[in-house]
Amino acid sequence: MSNARDAYPADRMTLREVGLRDGLQLVKRFPATTEKLAWIGAEYAAGVRHFEVGSFLPPERVPQFADVRDLIRFVASCRGARSAALALNERGLADALQTPLDEIVCVVSATEEHSQANMRRSRSAAVALVEKTAKARDVAGHKAIVNVGISMAFGCSLAGEVAEADVLRLVEQCLAAGADTIGIADTVGYAGPRQVAALTSAAARLCGNDHPLIVHLHDTRGLGLANASAAMDAGCRVLDGALGGLGGCPFAPGASGNVVFEDLAFLAESKGFATGIDIAALAEARAIAEREMPGEAFTGAIARAGLPANVRWHAAR
């Protein structure tokens, strides 16, 4: 088993940049590999250390992730940086284990409807794949973290309301299957702060001290940052965001972009959580992405208004 607490220390806030994976799922045009590497390099220079860089899927189906191995190797060359990528099936798992990937991301849907649409397998089969992933990792030479994201955890555009008890049952099942970290995702932006706080607190209790909890939020209805604030207040110390608010799920009707990474970093710092990220320096990475994807909608308050003049943060937590 990999020590997930080394990757996600409980005494600091960690922000994962998922723009190169979630952010590119629905784009009509995507950056060339050289520009993706420049994107990562610019964010690394700004202090970002966690990058979700793609999925192990057939290049003919998802050409935007054909260079996932190149990105993984580049992140591995950046001291202290960590890469994550999705492995949605056995073939993807086998490919992932042949790379220096730091985190193998598995997906378990909170509803049967989304599980079939997204992975063409049942929830129980998805949990079984988590167990297979953990066992394969354990015998592999490279001890990657098994990161399980529970999609549609706050509501599903295919099935409607999702009961908190159902999500918590999946958390328990995934931990028993060998997950090192658990993520709960508001895949289509259904949740409000109260729901986020409640599920975050309950899931964190199940995860305990040894299994970091990740909260993954979308800003579909404008509550992304409010929900992120609620998650932080409920004890979450690992959150996802995407540069410029890119993102969405092709198998989740109504899904739109992730919480804007720059704004998420600003929120965390304003609440007294040190992120290690130079927020102003993220503008260089954003400029690369905007230049390479001129038809995509980039959002964000920091990009629009800039940082406050002479800002002084509270003592970092």
pLDDT at position 257? 87
pLDDT at position 284? 97
* Domain contains 311: no
Q: For the segment 286-312, what is each residue's pLDDT rounded down to a tens digit?
A: 999 999 999 898 999 999 999 998 777
CB atoms within 10 A of CB 51: 28
At residue 218, what are phi and psi to the nearest 5 degrees? -115, 155
What's the one-letter identity of residue 68?
V
pTM of the entire structure?
Answer: 0.96
pLDDT at position 253? 59
- Residue written as token pair 């990657």: 144
* Domain contains 312: no
pLDDT at position 238? 98
* Domain contains 166: yes
* Domain contains 96: yes
CB atoms within 10 A of CB 163: 9
* Domain contains 50: yes
- According to DSSP H, which parts of the chain are helical? 4-7, 33-45, 68-76, 90-96, 112-119, 123-139, 164-177, 193-207, 224-233, 261-270, 282-292, 301-305
pLDDT at position 154? 97
Is residue 25 within 8 A of residue 63, CB to CB? The reply is: no
pLDDT at position 2? 63
Tokens of 237: 């110390």
Residues known to be catalytic: 249
* Domain contains 47: yes
pLDDT at position 152? 95
The number of distinct structural domains making up the chain is 1
Report the CATH number that the domain containing residue 36 is assigned in CATH. Answer: 3.20.20.70
Structural domain that includes position 32 = 4-305
* Domain contains 228: yes
Closest to 264 in 3D by CA, of 211, 219, 313:
219
Low-confidence ranges of the chain (pLDDT < 70): 1-2, 249-256, 313-316
* Domain contains 316: no
What's the one-letter identity of residue 275?
T
